[in-house]
Amino acid sequence: MNNLTTIKAVLEDATCRLDASSDSARLDAELLLARTIDMPRSYLFAHPEEPLDETTVSRFREALDRRLAGEPMAYISGTREFWSLELMVTPATLVPRPETELLVDLALREIPRRAEWRILDLGTGSGAIAIAIAKERPLSSVTATDVSAEALEVARENARQLDVPNVEFIAGDWTGPVCGRTFNMIVSNPPYVRSDDAALDALHCEPRSALCAGADGLDAIRILARDCGALLEPGGALLIEHGAEQRESVAAVLREHGWSDVACHADYAGLPRITVARRD
């Protein structure tokens, strides 16, 4: 690539190389180059013939190599947009997924704008769900936990940068850090991938502890079904994200632990991905 020195040529070459491993090859190449030259993407379209110096080309190639090795764009750029918020992400945090926005949407439909609700987000990662809810409902107090102290550092920094004061972060194992407290609602996108799922190969850069939950992917959900009831006000809802093929098993686990009104919601692709259950 050293002798490909214009924006257009570099982009064409990179798109070609990315084609085999990314279904958004051209976009990835543009985003990586825009970031390398610290310009908006539109600059690339306006200046296709602009020459690039050796240093720029070699910095771009470093980023391209990371992408070719399967690293998510979000880790290379260090950010991911979620609920229109620019969140910092690191390899200690899962990259927030668009379908998780449905969980936020369903939660917001229930949280009154003018009430001071206490909301708990278990396994907060980058803080995506907790921060989005706290931002949309400034009168509420959101508590977010994670077993990873490193992830919580990122989440805290995200809340600080986005100027969201009504969220607190506590390290610990699931409900352990909030034992004895009560909430009006609990939300969680826990790990739910089966430990032998072939899809994990493509997710090798993200923390296993954020993705995997035992042989059937339900280990974390079983813990939440068992322990969350004691933390909810009567009538309070538990909202859990899960895999598309887990609808029945999640409902069964919840009913086994005495939850009522168990209902599953489809994501934007029409797949059953969020289950809501209620404490009597």
Taking CB under 6 A as the criterion, the residue among 191, 207, 229, 272 binding ligand GLN is 191
Contact track, ligand SAM, 186-225, x by CB under 6 A: ---xxx-----------------xx---------------
The 3-state DSSP class for residue 204 equals coil
For residue 62, the minimal CB distance to ligand SAM (Å) is 27
For residue 188, the minimal CB distance to ligand GLN (Å) is 9
Could you tell me whether strands 141-146 and 118-122 are parallel, antiparallel, or unpaired per DSSP bridges? parallel
User: Cβ distance 179 to 157 under 8 Å?
Assistant: no
* Best CA proximity match to 49, nearest among 12, 2, 15: 12
Q: Does 229 bind ligand SAM (CB under 6 A)?
A: no
For residues 101 and 273, what is the distance between their CA atoms, to the nearest angstrom?
A: 11
Q: Does 159 bind ligand SAM (CB under 6 A)?
A: no
74 versus 211: smaller Cβ distance to ligand GLN? 211
Q: Select the binding partner of residue 60 from ligand SAM, ligand GLN, none (C-beta < 5 to 8 A, by kind).
A: none
Q: Select the binding partner of residue 124 from ligand SAM, ligand GLN, none (C-beta < 5 to 8 A, by kind).
A: ligand SAM
Structure tokens at 34: 């825009």
Q: Select the binding partner of residue 225 from ligand SAM, ligand GLN, none (C-beta < 5 to 8 A, by kind).
A: none
User: Cβ distance 171 to 149 under 8 Å?
Assistant: yes
User: Cβ distance 135 to 162 under 8 Å?
Assistant: yes
Sheet with 141-146: list strands edge to edge.
167-171, 141-146, 118-122, 183-188, 232-241, 272-278, 260-266
Taking CB under 6 A as the criterion, the residue among 18, 111, 128, 142 binding ligand SAM is 128
Q: Does 83 bind ligand GLN (CB under 6 A)?
A: no
Structure tokens at 26: 């051209």
Taking CB under 6 A as the criterion, the residue among 97, 156, 257, 278 binding ligand GLN is 97
For residues 228 and 254, what is the distance between their CA atoms, to the nearest angstrom?
A: 10
123 exposure class (CB count in 10 Å sphere: 0-12, 13-18, 19+): buried
Q: Does 126 bind ligand GLN (CB under 6 A)?
A: no
For residue 124, the minimal CB distance to ligand SAM (Å) is 5
Contacts of 1 (CB under 8 A, 6+ apart): 10, 13, 14, 57, 61
The 3-state DSSP class for residue 119 equals strand
For residues 228 and 181, what is the distance between their CA atoms, to the nearest angstrom?
A: 11
Q: Select the binding partner of residue 83 from ligand GLN, ligand SAM, none (C-beta < 5 to 8 A, by kind).
A: none
The 3-state DSSP class for residue 39 equals coil
Contact track, ligand SAM, 76-95, x by CB under 6 A: ------------------x-
Taking CB under 6 A as the criterion, the residue among 36, 189, 246, 275 binding ligand GLN is 189
Choose one: 64-72, 109-117, 125-133, 272-280; the region binding ligand SAM (CB under 6 A).
Answer: 125-133
- Give the containing element (helix H, strand E) for 182: none
Taking CB under 6 A as the criterion, the residue among 34, 37, 170, 193 binding ligand GLN is 193
Which residue ranges make up the site for ligand SAM (CB under 6 A)? 94, 96, 100, 123-126, 128-129, 145-148, 151, 173-174, 189-191, 209-210
